Chain A
Amino acid sequence: MDITVGIIANPVSARDIRRLLTNASSLQITDRANIVLRLLASLGSMGVNKVLMMPDNGGICGHVQRGVKRENNYGDTSWPALKFLDMPVTSSVQDTVNAVRMMVEENVSAIIVLGGDGTHRAVISECQTIPIAGLSTGTNNAFPDTREPTVTGLATGLYVTGKISTENACVANKILEIKINDEHNVHVALVDVVITTDRYVGARALWRTETFTELYVTFGEAHSVGMSSIAGLVNPVDRLDPYGLRVELGSEQESIQTLMTPIAPGLMKRIGIKHVEKLLPEKTCLPQTTAGSIALDGEREIEFSEQDRVEITLKTDAFYTIDVARIMLDAAKNQLLLLTKNQ
């Protein structure tokens, strides 16, 4: 029986204006392909025999195919069979959504995601209860891990081959649900929602702090970068805490405190904090700003006007992630990677 893992690799993450504004990094396409090749090697070593991958026109698949062919020429037979999903490529976020939908139909055991917060957001909209393992190839990346992909592949392989139980391998995550007017217009954020007074999404990134009015986070770590770092430095909230945080932002004059925060890679800004409160699950909040734009996980995505009713609600147990560090620790304790032991 096949043990199948899905891979979503976004070729267009980390391409926005932050490279110009703050020297943010841009992982090259060939490096993204190399990450996939390293994943194939480690997944194969754990017994995964099939990988389904999203096709793309951005170059990743082409370089991966070249690498797989090279590996076959070397005579390495331990890699899983690689199959690209048969789907049209639109070079938009819809590709991720469609690919994950197909992976669910094909009963993959886990999905590894290469991208930023936005890519992960698209994956969790369709992955249902299938756990995901995230690898950061985006800009801010408060959500996915910055980790050597080989280890992510090993941990994912240990889980999907049944060497580590689901309860020891997977953790439930929170999301923020944003409803505009009715249930037909619902969006999610994995880490943060920022309300700005800009009435246009424009170049999408957030850097003009004078336009920020409110911040909602599922979690905020003091060591993170991006908008959630504001919460992390004011009142840290763990990924596993059963609540989030809501922060009112404003000018220094009207605020109770002013923070220095890394709101994007290379971009330290002074942020005025007017009010901080816990965000409880299922408690719906209405932003005080009546018209502007809504940034999901660091990028302006939605424009809204005075006629729109915006509701923001924290949801728990929304999707599952593979806890790589915990799996590898369990693997060490239980000697799962121990092949021989000399007395």
Chain B
Amino acid sequence: MASSNPFPLSKEELLKVYKTMRSIREFEERVHLEFAKGGIPGFVHLYAGEEASAAGIMYHLRPDDRIASTHRGHGHCIAKGVDIRGMMAEIYGKSSGVCAGKGGSMHIADLDAGMMGANGILGAGAPLVCGAALAAKFHKNEGVAISFVGDGASNQGMMLESLNLATVWNLPAIFVVENNGYAESTSAEWAVSCDSYVDRASGFGMPGISVDGFDFFAVFEAAGEAISRARSGGGPSLMEVKTGRFFGHFEGDAQTYRGENEVENLREHKDCIKIYSKKILDAGVVEKSEFDAIDAEVNALIDDAVEKAVAAPEPAGSELYTDVYVNY
């Protein structure tokens, strides 16, 4: 056992990060299985493989900081503190869900947790965070707002307009491009005309950086600097997180566009949780039994979440017209 902790987080904090990433992974792996059984309505887009991005960024956020997510939003929700049982029930379309079962996977929102919503409209989170960031700026509360998009949505006009607006108004906004290499089935190498997101940010007058999304500490360090800069009035920035997804674009995607053994290689060599836990175990800061205990706790939580979601009632027909419009 090493005598000192060489990481930028205490042992308790390191375990908390592990729990966040493990919760996302287990949640997604379980949704993958349950969806195949036919019990989940609608579409689901799974985040497994990209956990270091959500955990590394959200670690720096306060509960009142706002995020706007994507169609692939489960990981962002969990890392931001949305109730896991409520999320699972929402995905099942049950009345105990965080949106009373009327949103489903692509519309999970929890304003109390600062989660402005997953979003089925690609790129639509970017202008929303400009509003949230403007509010934080007016309130002078050092709040920040973070928009997540994928490499596909990064090309949407709303996204580009938001980059412009954020710079013009010097907003405490951070635009995270989770580049998992594919816009649905179209390679980013083909579909993103500006060859570098750093170049794109530079074109809008804001700093852009690119980080290794398979390394929690790389995301954590970079996000910490970007968020701290935004809180202190330094303005917006763009962060490309280079990552990879373990599942298809949506559940049921045959993934014929992916290379031979691509996913197997990702799981074997680029699993951000494996990389993270090995690093910490090797340094002697945490015992394997402590990770095992978290695994057991997370598994039990997800089991319970599925059980409760399955057992919960669907929204009553009388609720059809409620919650259509919401006052913030």
Residues in A lying within 8 Å of B, measured CB to CB:
11-12, 14-17, 19-21, 23, 26, 28-30, 57-60, 62, 197-204, 291-292, 303, 305-306
CA distance A62 to B189 in the complex (A): 11
Could you say which residues of chain B place their CB within 8 Å of the CB of A199? Answer: 6-7, 279, 283
Could you say which residues of chain A place their CB within 8 Å of the CB of B225? Answer: 17, 20-21, 203
CA distance A23 to B221 in the complex (A): 17
| Contact, CB under 8 Å: A20 / B226 | yes
Tell me the smallest distance from the CB of A138 to a CB of chain B, in Å. 13
> When the two chains form the complex, which single residue of A59, A203, A291, A305 contacts B221, counting CB atoms closer than 8 Å?
A203
| Contact, CB under 8 Å: A19 / B209 | yes
Could you say which residues of chain A place their CB within 8 Å of the CB of B182? Answer: none
B208 within 8 Å of A by Cβ? yes
CA distance A12 to B212 in the complex (A): 12
Could you say which residues of chain B place their CB within 8 Å of the CB of A303? Answer: 279
Could you say which residues of chain B place their CB within 8 Å of the CB of A62? Answer: 195
| Contact, CB under 8 Å: B237 / A16 | no
| Contact, CB under 8 Å: B209 / A16 | yes
| Contact, CB under 8 Å: B196 / A29 | yes
> When the two chains form the complex, which single residue of B207, B211, B222, B282 contacts A23, counting CB atoms closer than 8 Å?
B207
Interface Cβ pair total, 8 Å cutoff: 89
Most chain A CB atoms below 10 A, which of B189, B198, B282 = B198
Which of the four size classes fits the interface of chain B?
20 to 34
> When the two chains form the complex, which single residue of B7, B210, B229 contacts A16, counting CB atoms closer than 8 Å?
B210
Subset of 22 A-B contacts with CB under 8 Å:
A11-B196, A12-B210, A15-B198, A15-B210, A16-B209, A16-B210, A17-B225, A19-B208, A20-B222, A20-B225, A23-B207, A26-B198, A26-B202, A28-B199, A57-B189, A58-B195, A200-B215, A201-B215, A202-B220, A203-B211, A303-B279, A305-B283
Tell me the smallest distance from the CB of A225 to a CB of chain B, in Å. 18
B217 within 8 Å of A by Cβ? yes
Q: Contacts A23-B207, A29-B195 given: A202-B221 contact, CB under 8 Å?
A: yes
B2 within 8 Å of A by Cβ? yes
Q: Contacts A199-B6, A199-B7, A303-B279 given: A11-B195 contact, CB under 8 Å?
A: yes
Could you say which residues of chain B place their CB within 8 Å of the CB of A58? Answer: 195-196
| Contact, CB under 8 Å: A305 / B282 | yes
| Contact, CB under 8 Å: B2 / A291 | yes
